A and B are shown apart, each in its own frame.
Chain A
Amino acid sequence: MRWLYANWKFFITVAIAILFTSFIVDSEIKRFQLNGFAQGTTWQVTYYATDSLISQESIDDIFNEIDLSMSLYRSNSLINKFNASEKGIKADLYLKSVVQKSIEIYKISNGTFDITVKPLVQAWGFGVKNVSINPDKKSIKSILKCIGSDKIFLKNDSLLKSKSCIEIDLNGIAQGYTVDIIADFLETSNINNYLVEVGGEIKVKGIKSDGSNFNIGIETPDIISELPFRKIVSIKEGAITTSGNYRKFRLQGNKKLSHLIDAKSGYPIDNEMISVTVWAKDATTADAYDNVLMNLGVNQSLKLLKNTADIEAYFIYLDKNGHVTDTETNGFSKFFKKETDLKK
């Protein structure tokens, strides 16, 4: 009996020990990372949790659903059906919310952000089809008749257009929207400490396992910093996106044509801007705004942002003397982290 009792004590001790150990192991916060290729670029999801809560396939499914809705590279996508239609189509939830947000920013930006820019993008050779000859004044004038987000409408479940030649291109906002959708998915999966990145558009929430904020490198032309991503920002929550002129362009003689087309004039943007990095609460807004600010130039952008809550920005541009320089809004400057000192 005594033996049994002693053994009982032993068993209980061991059982508690095992339970305790497993509790410690289970409650340890670990870093999980998923990577993939979608939307013509790479993506990554990093999150901190006690166990792996989501699968690679679930993220791939989200990309697939979004592509079926708004990819110009999928022949059967809703966006392509809309573009080919006479009057419009029945839209899904994705398309409806992105178009709604786009129209909202179209109004705020006085038409600078305009998803109906597609015929112009195509004419300048930055669309799905290759183009070798630039459009002339006359053809731009005629294309401009089919431009303007005031010519598209959301009505019940439908996305409608007032002219059949209206076509939309969501490249300036869809990637940011995808980031938000993935972030929502993480939150519904009980993940509250994460970084989602698709093609350089990022959203973060929470902290890492060591209690620190997520650090995001801003890729800069190497004249601004020695190595890629030497400007580092540290943020607690929100989205960071970048739009830039310095890699994606077409050569026209010696001149570089920007891939960003001004929907009002019909011509590629030709201003001092090199890149704009925007912080906003959500990636859809940040992504749309980086286009707006690229178009506006530094001075007008700073003016606009003075009266806009919850949007901050960092600009790299050519000054009057043709030298590369940078500046940022006051709010953005608080995000900067001190550079890594390699000489220490």
Chain B
Amino acid sequence: MSRRTFIKHSGLIAGGLILNDKLFAAISKNDFKSINIGIIGCGDRGTGIMKVMKELPKLFKITAICDTLEFRLKHAIEIEPAKSYKNYLSLLEDKNIDAVIIATPLNLHFEIAKAALDANKHVYLEKTMTHDIVQALELAAITLKHSKQILQVGHQYRSSPLYYKVKDMIDKGYLGKVTQVDARWDRNWNWRRPLPNPGLEREINWRMYKEYSGGLPAELLSHQIDFINWAFDTQPDQIYATGGIDNYKDGRETYDNIQATLRYEKEGMIGNFGATCSNQKDGYLFKIKGTKGTISLLMNEGVYYPENTTRKELETVDGVTGATKITWNNDGGFALLPEPTKDGTWYALKDFHQSVTQHKLPDSNIITGTKTAVAVSMINKSAFTNTIQHWLPEYNQIDVKGK
């Protein structure tokens, strides 16, 4: 996507937030065609997406749902009384379905996405895109062959106007030369879901097991890693990660405590990505630090803190006139948007709808999704094998093909 298109896109969305609805109506009038959706995977995330889709009834109609677990199907039907399937292959045979949402354990992403593309469905594939690098590159190759179909990867937070604004500010130089990124996603609980019966441990708590999951890097940190890749149009050249099962020695295999250092050589930038299940003080933390300023982000709010010299440049005004005044926060920053954004999924689904109806490449696409899946795999490999991982030239084939 060209820079101009990007700015237009982000600008329109951002404007819709604070202006009246006329604006939104004007840009969306021509593409209010509802698309039929099949949900594959009705766990927390799948049903969460269903609820957001119900807020957008003009855009989506959930016509089918699929899960291997009976109680999950029952729960999902309460949200939307759609046709239910236990096998996703049967759902894919349904000609009535235009697009599928894939919200299954990570190890199933590749095979289901491939099958869905082969069945001529558009795909909204939850993050992380695939479980490993081989799958990522193969899915990329398959997707590029299916040029009529859209594949969007569910890194939903950066679909919000807030994250577009941050990318725009980086492009325009508000941060100056960025050298450091600090990202955390911490919590203080065991990250387990309750079991209806003990036999379902691996199906429900799949995040605990390497066979099904990439653990904290894949389920949480991938969002921030993906944003940095996208915002700077880059990928990490070198990764060193460390971690362990340091608190919850409950038979899990994926680490409950992880720290990864990502080196972006071209940008001259270091990313520190960490997550623990044993402290929640920082929660979600995302700071991008440059010579001119820092942006500190939550999922739906952001604050810009200029460095002292930049502050002086920005404060070249002696007074401000406005309908109502915007003022600096007490801590020396100011809010990037006047009000918090909606949940990222709402914007991500709108983008998906627009991509499908207007046949445009979504911003969270196969190229960015592949880069992030590769980076996540490198983090896990580094942490599990105690080695430094390097971005290999063959990982770039997607770039060449994609462009």
Question: Once bound together, how far apart are the Cα atoms of A249 and B323, in whole Å?
Answer: 11
How many A-B contacts if CB must be within 8 Å?
A: 136
**Residues B314-333 near A (CB distance < 8 A):** 314, 316-327
Interface size on A, residues (CB 8 A): 50
Q: Mark A188-218, 1 if CB is under 8 A from B, else 0.
A: 0000000101011110100010000011111
* Partner of A342 from B14, B313, B317 at Cβ < 8 Å: B313
A324 in the interface (beta carbon within 8 A): yes
Tell whether, in the assembled complex, residue A214 and residue B23 are in contact, meaning their CB atoms are under 8 Å apart.
no
* Partner of A232 from B14, B25, B173, B316 at Cβ < 8 Å: B316
Q: Mark A212-227, 1 if CB is under 8 A from B, else 0.
A: 0011111101110011
Q: Mark A5-46, 1 if CB is under 8 A from B, else 0.
A: 000000000000000000000000000000000000110101
A228 in the interface (beta carbon within 8 A): yes
Question: Once bound together, how far apart are the Cα atoms of A318 and B323, in whole Å?
Answer: 17
Q: Which residues of B contact A246 (CB under 8 A)?
A: 18-19, 323
Tell whether, in the assembled complex, residue B314 and residue A242 are in contact, meaning their CB atoms are under 8 Å apart.
no
Tell whether, in the assembled complex, residue A256 and residue B20 are in contact, meaning their CB atoms are under 8 Å apart.
yes
A274 in the interface (beta carbon within 8 A): yes
Given contacts A226-B169, A322-B23, contact A200 B320 (CB under 8 A): yes
Tell whether, in the assembled complex, residue B324 and residue A248 are in contact, meaning their CB atoms are under 8 Å apart.
yes
* Partner of A202 from B176, B319, B338 at Cβ < 8 Å: B319
B172 in the interface (beta carbon within 8 A): yes
Please classify the interface of chain B as helix (H, G, I), strand (E, B), loop, or mixed, using the class held by over half of its residues.
mixed
Q: Which residues of B contact A217 (CB under 8 A)?
A: 317, 319-321
* Partner of A243 from B21, B169, B323, B327 at Cβ < 8 Å: B323
Please classify the interface of chain A as helix (H, G, I), strand (E, B), loop, or mixed, using the class held by over half of its residues.
strand
Tell whether, in the assembled complex, residue B319 and residue A214 are in contact, meaning their CB atoms are under 8 Å apart.
yes
Q: Which residues of B contact A201 (CB under 8 A)?
A: 321
Question: Once bound together, how far apart are the Cα atoms of A68 and B252, in whole Å?
Answer: 71
Interface size on B, residues (CB 8 A): 40
Tell whether, in the assembled complex, residue A219 and residue B319 are in contact, meaning their CB atoms are under 8 Å apart.
no
A247 in the interface (beta carbon within 8 A): yes
Question: Once bound together, how far apart are the Cα atoms of A313 and B84, in whole Å?
Answer: 61
* Partner of B320 from A219, A323, A324 at Cβ < 8 Å: A219
Tell whether, in the assembled complex, residue B310 and residue A228 are in contact, meaning their CB atoms are under 8 Å apart.
no
Q: Which residues of A contact B173 (CB under 8 A)?
A: 342-343
Tell whether, in the assembled complex, residue B19 and residue A226 are in contact, meaning their CB atoms are under 8 Å apart.
no
A229 in the interface (beta carbon within 8 A): yes
Tell whether, in the assembled complex, residue A343 and residue B172 are in contact, meaning their CB atoms are under 8 Å apart.
yes
Tell whether, in the assembled complex, residue B292 and residue A342 are in contact, meaning their CB atoms are under 8 Å apart.
yes
**Residues A231-254 near B (CB distance < 8 A):** 232, 240-249, 254
A321 in the interface (beta carbon within 8 A): yes
B337 in the interface (beta carbon within 8 A): yes
**Residues B107-121 near A (CB distance < 8 A):** none
A129 in the interface (beta carbon within 8 A): no
Tell whether, in the assembled complex, residue B14 and residue A223 are in contact, meaning their CB atoms are under 8 Å apart.
yes
CB distance from A208 to the nearest CB of B (A): 7
Question: Once bound together, how far apart are the Cα atoms of A208 and B23, in whole Å?
Answer: 41
CB distance from A44 to the nearest CB of B (A): 7
Tell whether, in the assembled complex, residue A41 and residue B325 are in contact, meaning their CB atoms are under 8 Å apart.
yes
Tell whether, in the assembled complex, residue A242 and residue B318 are in contact, meaning their CB atoms are under 8 Å apart.
no
Q: Which residues of A contact B15 (CB under 8 A)?
A: 221-223, 324
The 7 closest A-B pairs by CB, nearest first: A244-B323, A322-B26, A219-B322, A223-B15, A217-B317, A343-B173, A228-B326
Q: Which residues of A line the B interface, CB within 8 A?
A: 41-42, 44, 46, 195, 197, 199-202, 204, 208, 214-219, 221-223, 226-229, 232, 240-249, 254-256, 274-275, 277, 318, 321-324, 340, 342-343
Give me 11 A-to-B residue pairs in the complex whose CB atoms sit less than 8 angstroms apart, sorted by A's number.
A200-B320, A200-B323, A216-B318, A222-B15, A240-B321, A242-B321, A242-B322, A244-B324, A254-B21, A274-B19, A322-B26
Given contact pairs A201-B321, A228-B320, A241-B321, enumerate 14 new A-B contacts (beta carbons under 8 Å). A197-B319, A199-B324, A200-B323, A217-B320, A221-B15, A222-B14, A227-B174, A229-B320, A248-B324, A254-B21, A274-B19, A275-B323, A322-B26, A324-B19
